Structure 1
Amino acid sequence: MDSGQQRLKELGYKQELKRDLSVVTNFAFSFSIISILTGVTTLYNTGLAYGGPISMVYGWFITGFFTMFVALSMAEICSAYPTSGGLYFWSYHLSGREWGPFASWITGWFNIVGQWAVTTSIDYSLATLIQEIILLSTGGANGGGYMASKYEVIGIHGGLLFIHAVLNSLPIGWLAHLGMLSAVWNIVGVFFLMIIIPVVSPRKATSEFVFQHFNTENTHNIHSSPYVFFIGLLMSQYTISGYDASAHMSEETKASDKNGPYGIVSAVSISLVVGWGYLLGITYAVTDLNHVLDPSNDAAGYAVAQVFYDAFKNRYGSGTGGIACLGVVAVAIFFCGMSSITSNSRMAYAFSRDGAMPFSNFWHSVNGWEVPINAVWLSAGIAFIMALTSLGSQVAFQAMVSIATIGLYIAYALPSLFRVTLARKTFKSGPFHLGPYGVIIGWVAVLWVATICVLFSLPIEYPVTAANLNYTPVAVGGVFLLVILGWLFSARLWFRGPVSNTEVKPFTL
């Protein structure tokens, strides 16, 4: 029994999952979900339109700097409480007996809904990229290329989720190898693309453009430069998320009270370095910003796809090499979606173990390979249902996906808030600790999350209409309202927070 398993026993849980992950494989899952190639590629349009190179190049480090405070605060708490579904468990123990059940309830539901939204956005982004690859491979938007319909895209999305669920039904040892492959692919892929794209491109942007150009031409009547800059931070903040996977994999990680925190911090820090390199590499290949953002270009306005396509087409007369480079990104996003479901299922497993979900015993069950199989398929199924909103309205879909960033970060900040307030004098750190700086770092983390919640709820177009309204506060507020109503009318009568499964069976609805 290693230190992580011993600590799990002290917290009142028996070992049910196979503890087979090392610090490297634990890191690999978080790094794969952060996935620089996923976040930067899919939201590069937002970064270019709102501020352009300055917003991305400098905004990346501003966002990364404050995100590291969030990661450090989470890592310290993870070391003290190394359990699957850690965030809601942390909130319970940090809030005390009186507030613990409510704190655990609200943190857990924001965490799990945010995770489901993340999986939805990842696999839907991959389905959209596959649509883009098909379009460019058949001649592009201006050459008679085939543009898949929204029904075909949702079908691709469903197929990807099915494959990811099958892979996550395998033993964790097998999945660990795929996680390592994913981490290697993301790192090698980033360095390959950041070098090959600007090298191949016959026309390169100047350093003045990359480091000094501020775009105010595509900002939909927003004329305030600081306003534009802050909206442009969404690309960076969306990308650097999902690192709570290291905490959710704690019960499958050796010496998780040490290796879980190291997984969180290393995933964020390495992502910051390689992500900046990727941003610089592709931005040096942007020679005509308006052309790249033009919805009537060959890639139908998909900025990164147009950059890759132009780089090879202008050099060799054919964009085939650029399409192959998009394939490199597609594989990275595929691995990202796979790891996201891994994290989702462990959160659902832990939350249902404590009776917080309907039909808890069913979602908590573990198969002969010690895999929470039902939680895996639940996560895939909900991610498919959430994506169905895209068939009715892209505005509704974007509002739902906004929970992926705001909702998830609210769940990240709540344990830190309780650690620096209710548990300031009673918190007992684990092997990974921040010493006297823990409270200061926790407060910075909480204030940063409060800041981005406001920034990403601001209107992104003027004048504001029903068609362009930023529905982020509506979506996140809707989740908050449902969680509160669920507590007031039901959960407060029976939910008592985490339940020791060495003595008492979890409550089941």
Structure 2
Amino acid sequence: MSNTPPLAKPEDAFTLAKLGYQQELRRNFSKYEIMSTAFTIIGLLPSIASTLVFAIPAGPVGMVWGWFIASSLTFIVSVAMADLGSAMPTAGGLYWWTHYFSAPAWKNPLAFLVGYSNTLGVIGGFCSTDYGFALMFLSVIQMAVGDNAKLPSNGIVYLVFLVCILSHATVVTFASKIMAKLQVIFMIVNLLLIAVTIIVLPIGKKRTNSAEFVFTKSENLSGWPPIWTFFLAWMCPIWSIGGFEACVHLSEEAKNATTAVPYGIMGSCGLSSILGLVVMAVFAACMPTDLNSLLNTPLGQPVAQIYLDALGRHGAIVMMVLLCIAQWLMGVSVLVAGSRQSWAFSRDGALPFSNYFSQINKTFGYIPLRTVWGVSFICLVFGLLSLIAPASAAALFSLGVAGNHLAWFMPIFARVVWGRDKFVPGPFYTGVWSIPIAVITCVFLLFSIVTAMMPASGPHPTAKNMNYTVVINCAVWGGALAYYYIDARKWFTGPKVTLDSASRSLLTVEDQEKIGKEALVDIRDPEPPAYSAT
């Protein structure tokens, strides 16, 4: 008799079996570890540092009140997603839900579109995280060298990016068995960094800006009308708080997933929203009143300039090093979540080489090892764009917003329009508020997608400052639909059933009897899967 512990408790295996899947990943993550992973992916302070440039043109009002409004709306999105995550927790949740709720004629093409948009979105998020690390790391070196430092070439930036990607893939591979515990440590590091920033910046600045400046001073340093400059400031929180979706991709590794997933989604988003508001207020209180000088800082990082003005060169270097550490930890968690989405989509046969990438590796702790390295390799290829046209690379990496937001929008929209009667609530459910919350979510996500595609500098962009997000995303979405209608429609029939007789034997007798009554899909024994655990 084997002493190997089961991959999951019977109740979790039953929940997944209702969706047609056998348990293949080990459930190591508690609800706190799931939330810690999402919070680390959000990487609040590093994310704000990378996106503050969107908020500064609207002045402190855009920074503080823009954060408050946009983060509040983002939290509503997290509640809508938590409703679905509690009811149907699976690693490929977004495209699975889209397929389940959509009208019959739209099921397959929309699920295919969402799956590709989400997969490339999380890959783009990983790219942007590590590319942001490379830029931040090199800005620290510039700060340390001083005025004689030369701007790093595109080749140097890519080299740092490459080393960062490979280091993340290596850590995710060899630390997989303790990855859940590491996420709690990563979250504590992020919280300590936020606490240090909130405390030391006002102390170092000594004479901070007035409350009137922080909460009522508005600017318009873009070429857009003031109201649209304010809306563009929302990109800072929208971009920064997007990581809560990771809870969905980790749901097949979560213990008590029907409660852990909604807890992780709303907990990470809510905590980030509150702490982010405090951080933005502190930055507004401690930054120079000449915002143009902040936007055009030779350091290339407004947050680095804020640290430098308040803490001096040595203090700023210390804080930026801590930011780099947090950004690197963020990349580990993003790769974990991204590899699970890619594995789930491969399990359903939708990605190229699905038979290869859908295999699970037992040696390293029942993880999708091949998608860990596959995602990393794709990121290295995408990163080559930074050698040619950094603006195009930045647009490609922006799939993390526009691509993911389309993937968030579609299942919630499908549930409201076609699937109200099919929805069976899980332990977390917002009741009569569920549909109004979903409607608000859909409107906000459409607005955020449009906003993410607008040129930040104004309505008359040049080739150099054009926002190529619209080009990249439309190419991805158009390409996915073209691929579906030209070829994939012949073989893609939506999520596959992998639950077989052997898998059912792991369930209790009572659960086996309930499966036939409560399953959300036809779970008759499928063809033997083309993939196997290695």
How far, CA to CA, are the matches of 1:332 and 1:233 in structure 2?
23
- Residue identity in the other structure for 1:357: L
Indicate conservation of the 8 Å contact 2:53/2:295, yes or no: no
- Provide, for residues 174-216 of structure 1, a one-character-per-residue CA deviation record: whole Å limited to 9, x for no partner: 1112211111111121111111112111332221221111122
- The letter for the 2-side match of 1:109 is Y
Instruction: Tell me the equivalent position of 1:479.
Output: 476
AA matched with 1:358: P
Kept after mapping to 1: 8 A contact 2:308/2:315:
yes
* Superposition misfits of 4+ residues, deviation over 6 angstroms: none
SS in 2 for 1:466: coil
Cα displacement (A) at 1:99? 2.7
Alignment of 1:466-505 (within 5 A): 466-502=463-499, 503-505=526-528
Contact 2:49 2:301 in 1 (8 A): no
Answer yes or no: is the 8 Å Cα contact 2:62–2:218 preserved in 1.
yes
Tell me the residue number matched to 1:327. 321
**What TM-score does the superposition give when structure 1 sets the normalisation length?**
0.94
Q: Are 1:385 and 2:381 matched, yes or no?
A: yes
Give, as a single letter, the amino acid of the residue that structure 1 aligns with 2:11.
Answer: S
Q: Which residue of 2 aligns with 1:262?
A: 263
Structure 1 residue aligned with 2:332: 338
Q: Which runs of 5+ in 2 are unaligned?
A: 1-8, 500-525
Task: Say what the alpha-carbon RMSD is for the aligned residues.
Answer: 1.6
Using a 3 Å threshold, how does the CA distance of structure 1 residues 72 and 506 change in structure 2: closer, same or farther? farther
Partner residue, 1:316: none
SS in 2 for 1:425: helix
- 1:122 pairs with 102, 107, 129, which one? 129
SS where residue 27 of structure 1 aligns?
helix
Q: Could you tell me which of 396, 407, 432 is aligned with 1:400? A: 396
Matches within 5 A, 1:449-464: 449-460=445-456, 461-464=458-461
How far apart are 1:465 and its partner, in Å? 2.6
In the alignment, is the contact (CA less than 8 A) between 1:134 and 1:147 conserved in 2? no
Residue 89 of structure 1 deviates from its aligned partner by: 1.0
Whether contact under 8 Å (2:70, 2:234) holds in the other structure is yes
- The corresponding residue for 1:187 is 191
Cα distance in 1 between the residues matched to 2:186 and 2:293:
29
Task: Encode CA deviations 1:129-168: one digit per residue, 9 max, x unaligned.
Answer: 00000000111xxx21243221111111111111111111
Equivalent of 1:147, from 151, 158, 165? 151
- What is the rounded CA distance, in whole Å, between the counterparts of 1:196 and 1:468 in structure 2? 35
Which aligned pairs between 1:109-508 and structure 2 lie closer than 5 A? 109-139=116-146, 143-170=147-174, 172-216=176-220, 218-219=221-222, 221-222=223-224, 224-290=225-291, 292-293=293-294, 295=296, 297-299=297-299, 301-313=300-312, 319-368=313-362, 369-460=365-456, 461-502=458-499, 503-505=526-528
Post-superposition shift, 1:294?
5.2
What is the CA–CA distance in structure 1 between the aligned matches of 2:530 and 2:70, rounded to whole Å?
Answer: 40
Residues 78 and 247, structure 1, Cα contact 8 Å, conserved in 2: yes
Q: Does structure 1 retain, via aligned residues, the 8 Å contact 2:109–2:481? A: no
Q: In 2, Cα distance between the equivalents of 1:86 and 1:350?
A: 9
Q: CA-to-partner distance for each residue in 1:462-491, whole Å, 9 max, x for gaps?
A: 433333322222121111110110111111
User: Once the two structures are superposed, what CA deviation does each residue of 1:216-275 show, in whole Å capped at 9, x if it has no partner?
Assistant: 2x32x33x1101111111111100102111011111110101111111011100001111
**Is 2:15 aligned against 1:7?**
yes
2:26 equivalent in structure 1: 18
Count of aligned residue pairs for this structure pair: 494
Deviation at 1:377, TM superposition (A): 0.5
Q: How many percent identity over aligned positions?
A: 28
The corresponding residue for 2:507 is none
Matched residue SS, 2:448:
helix
SS at match of 1:405: helix
Q: Is contact 1:403-1:476 (8 Å) kept?
A: yes
Do the aligned partners of 2:304 and 2:316 also contact (CA within 8 Å) in 1? yes
How many angstroms does 1:505 deviate by? 4.4
2:55 pairs with one of 23, 28, 47: 47
Q: Is the 8 A contact 1:257 1:431 kept in 2?
A: yes
Q: Is the 8 A contact 1:3 1:256 kept in 2?
A: no
TM-superposition CA deviations, 1:336-377 (whole Å, max 9, x none): 111000011000111100100111111111112211100001
- SS of residue in 2 equivalent to 1:204: coil
1:376-409 C-alpha deviation (Å, 9 max, x unpaired) = 0111111222122111112212221222111111
Shift of 1:506: 5.1
* 2:391 alignment partner, SS class: helix
Measure the CA separation in 2 of the matches of 1:307 and 1:292.
11
Q: What is the distance in 2 between the residues matched to 1:501 and 1:115?
A: 24
| TM superposition shift of 1:95 | 1.7
How far the C-alpha of 1:280 sits from its partner, in A, is: 1.6
TM-score normalized with structure 2 length: 0.89
- Distance 1:504-1:99 versus aligned 2 partners, 3 A rule: farther
Match of 2:111 among 97, 104, 119: 104
After TM superposition, give the deviation of residue 97 of structure 1 in Å: 4.3
Q: Distance in 1 between matches of 2:42 and 2:529?
A: 32
Match of 1:91, as an amino acid? T
Equivalent residue number for residue 102 of structure 2: 95
Contact 1:76-1:433 within 8 A present in 2 as well: yes
